[in-house]
Amino acid sequence: MNLLNYDILHVICEYCDQKHLKKFVTLSKKHHQVAKYSLIYKFEESELSYIKKYHYKIHLKTNLIPVTFHQQIVILDLSFYKLTSLSDSIGQLTQLRELSASGNQLTSLPDSIGQLTQLQILSVEHNQLTSLPDSIGQLTQLQILYVYYNKLTTLPESIGQLTQLRELYVYRDQLTSLPDSIGQLTQLQRLNISDNQLTSLPDSIGQFAQLQELNVSDNQLTSLPDSIEQLTQLQKLNALANQLTYLPDSIGQLTQLRELHVKHNKLTSLPNSIGQLTQLQILFVGDNQLTSLPDSIGRLTQLQILHAHYNQLTSLPDSIGRLTQLRELEAHYNQLTTLPDSIGQLTQLRELDVYRNQLTSLPESVRSIKNIRICE
């Protein structure tokens, strides 16, 4: 295999006998490309996770790497070398666990990438990719895929075969839709598809039984699918900067949710079921068209931050006084004429912003809160 086209190669060999190890290290010293630390002689699969942490990497000119080592390379870093393509021969690195080719000028990936059946992490972000090859579905050990900052308009159906995938980052691309097969990624824990051109999400996303973080912000979504109720492990949902006109009642089933970001949409109301999100700590509903908040919001007893600015609120519900953990309340640029006395019960409140409303006075109970900063 010829790797001489690449300038610097960062490699780790999974196994080297003493003879080759000595030659490898001697070459690196002779050419002043000394290893940061010592080369690992041999390590087990469980030790691979420590590689990045301790930076056991050899920095060598590629023409100094003996051919006998090529089949033993497990980490290959080709980032930021102005590459316009990857050789088909990359498929011969059958022991590869991590491949990074980010920050180049790649417009496509070779079909042979599907031969890297041991690959666990693939980083090809910050390129000019317009598509991914169908063969990517053969990477059945893949756990993390970074393909953000490219020009992808769609993902191949074969992506559903990546059944070990834990994290998928495809933000700042040009996606207009997602394949139904994406629902087969049942081990997925983090999905970021923000800043694309999506107008809808497939119902199959309800199959993400392990999903903890979902970021669909900065798209053109008009609704969220009802199947979202099946994401019972979801802790963070970011859907800001879309065109949502409502939230489904089923959102109340996300009982593990800690953060909900729906700022800068077209919401006119919030469902009563939002009160079922009893683990919620952060709620951003600013920049919408809300005229009121539901009484059920008082059940969010873990809530610490509530942003409801730039709406059309004329009042706040008395139940807001039950948010005893609330530290920050932003309701500026609304149409509030009064605040409920119950706000005085928010003893943890440190910031109250009601600037640019129609308030003539604040309740005395608010003034009695210690260490509060009020913007009126």
Q: What is the pLDDT of residues 144-157, one digit of tens each?
A: 999 999 999 999 99
Section 113-137 average pLDDT: 97
Section 113-139 average pLDDT: 97
pTM: 0.86
pLDDT (0 to 100) of residue 208: 97
pLDDT (0 to 100) of residue 41: 33
pLDDT in tens, 219-252: 999 999 999 999 999 999 999 999 999 999 999 9
Section 297-310 average pLDDT: 98
pLDDT (0 to 100) of residue 29: 40
Please state the φ and ψ torsions of residue 262, each to the nearest 5 degrees.
Answer: -130, 30
The pLDDT > 70 percentage for the chain reads: 81
Is the separation of the CB atoms in 205 and 225 below 8 Å? yes
Neighbour-count burial of 150, counting CB atoms closer than 10 A to its CB (0-12 exposed, 13-18 middle, 19+ buried)? buried
The answer on pLDDT for 293 being more than 60 is yes
pLDDT (0 to 100) of residue 74: 78
The answer on pLDDT for 126 being more than 50 is yes
- Could you count the other beta carbons within 10 Å of the beta carbon of residue 55? 11
Residue 22 pLDDT level (bands cut at 50, 70, 90)? very low
> What sign does the CA torsion over 54, 56, 60, 62 have?
negative
Section 357-374 average pLDDT: 92
pLDDT (0 to 100) of residue 83: 87
